[in-house]
Amino acid sequence: MLRGSALFYALGIAVLIGLLSTSLIIYAYTERLLIRKETRAQDLQRNVTSAMEWLLAAPDDFAEGETKTVDLYGRGKDSVSMMRRTWGAYLLFNVRSFSGKQVEEQTVLAGWLPDSSTAYTLYLADLDQALLLSGKTSITGTCYLPAAGVQRAYIEGQSFEGFDLIRGPVRNSARRLEPINTNLVKQLDEVLGGKFSPTDSVVAFGGFTDGDSLYHSYRSNRLVLRSASALTLRGGFCGGQVCIFSSKSIRVKKEMRLDGVLLFAPKIFIEDDVVGSFQAFARDSLLVGENVEVRYPGVLGIVASQQSPDLAYLILGKKSVCAGLVFGSSVVADYRKHVTVRLAQETHVTGQVWCFDLLDVQGRVWGDVTTSKFELKTPSATYLNHLLGATIDRSRLPIGFSYAALTARKEQRLSILQQMR
């Protein structure tokens, strides 16, 4: 006859064995669910990567702002949605791969890798005038120059210092510049005129002050902060998929922090010592102060129109830097209207400088320069097709540097610039 305590111990052991067995079963079931979820997440991530490669390889398969949903492999379980949108002078791609409630998503900013077979350091249109070099001017790389060639010059008390005028092959340029992305220029002009996409979220805006903070995800529709009056961005933070528009002017003070946003206004003034990543597009004037740092992928651009003054201008102030694109363009063919881009002394542009009209380079460019003609302004005189103390060197361009859409050709490959959120 068993004691009561022995029966109690037997029941306790049975309960423990039952609990342990149940725990093992639950653990195995949960582990199986986690493995299945992880495996599916890996499949979804592979689908995201594949869809992104599709977008990068064939962006023209997708209309602007269109969201296309497809089954990648026709198996009924590889659904992805893909979207292409222009963000300033670059492309924004969004990919979502989903299965039931499980979703993997990626948003990137993309630019174009330069085509090494057609790359050059300097392209100066052939307007029947030679290029004249003075001072410590240094040009390194393939150059397309007028048939009149390149010569030494003595101006401002300085003659050319150096041995080789051009350190690289010299070829003949054409009278007109290579075609640019007119669709992009037209898009920018429309926004400068106050025309936005139907999918944009447009709200009235009164400016930023110290302590204000705004971030808008790149995975949402574009947020447009619109003002009918002049704007002064005094301080705070603004980042993400935000477009700031003024029908008058925008002034950015050094306390303001910008991260990836777009600025559109007839007149834009970036005050001294501003640091940030942004794309600024003006119709009449874009004045960048001294010691300003526009971080990659930054854009400073003039898009002149019939409403612009006879002389629209972009000036990069002394000791300021820009990594990305600096350009001057126009949507009208009017000989009375001019656009000038000026890089002051000790400025530094990494990337691309393009101007369809007058360009004044007194700093250094690590990348390439394209212009119809140079116009050097000094306190004492104005010189046509002269360079004084300028440095243009495409060999210093960082490896993997991607260009904006302004001069992109179909043979160039798209590359991911950065991940967006």
Predicted confidence (pLDDT) per residue in 167-224, tens digit = 999 999 999 999 999 999 999 999 999 999 999 999 999 888 778 899 999 999 999 9
Distance CA 246, CA 409 (A): 32
Q: Kindly state the percentage of the chain with pLDDT values over 90.
A: 76
Q: Among all chains, which residue has been given the structure tokens 């179909």?
A: 410
On the question of pLDDT at 165 being above 70, the answer is: yes
On the question of pLDDT at 1 being above 70, the answer is: no
Helical H runs in 263-403? none
Contacting residues for 418 by C-beta, under 8 A, at least 6 apart: 108, 109, 297
What is residue 336's predicted lDDT score, i.e. its pLDDT? 85
Half-sphere exposure of 319 (CA within 13 A, CB side): 7
On the question of pLDDT at 2 being above 70, the answer is: no
pTM of the complete model: 0.91
Max CA separation in the chain (angstroms):
122
Distance CA 406, CA 366 (A): 18
Q: Where are the beta strands (DSSP E) in 271-363?
A: 275-288, 293-304, 311-316, 321-330, 338-343, 348-361
Angle at 411 (CA atoms; ends 406, 413), nearest 5 degrees = 75
User: How confident is the model over 236-256, as pLDDT tens digits?
Assistant: 999 999 999 999 999 999 999
Which residue, among 173, 166, 179, has the nearest Cα to 126 in the 3D structure?
A: 173
